[in-house]
Amino acid sequence: MDKVYVRDLRINALIGIYEWERRIRQQIRIDLEMGWDNRIPAASDAIEDTMNYKAAAKLVTAFVKKTEYQLVETLAEELAALLIKEFNLPWIKITLGKPGAVTGSSEVGVIIERTAQDFSDD
């Protein structure tokens, strides 16, 4: 399957389990890999046929800025559901990291992969 990706999207978020984390915004880093059949836009050369990565990045940024989750796991899962539904994606991989969250590491976080079937209403 073809992929459309966004790398190193940095957003300030209210996220964390500790009291001090609930009072500040911390930078998180997001990588998106979204399944998409790129043959159609390649043939048409039309933006309307693409998985519009700019629109996806704007949606993620707006969503993250208004959320107040405690766990990166929750945020990643909600983002996967949102993007799959909004853009009718068959598959998504999300890497969501908190830089500097653990002393001695550059970043910690989660990587999830979901399919449209994971969020079907069946």
3 labelled catalytic: no
Nearest to residue 4, comparing CAs of 56, 48, 40? 56
Number of helices followed by number of strands (H, E) in the chain: 3, 4
26: region left, alpha or beta (phi > 0 left; psi from -120 to 50 alpha): beta
Q: Which residues are catalytic?
A: 98
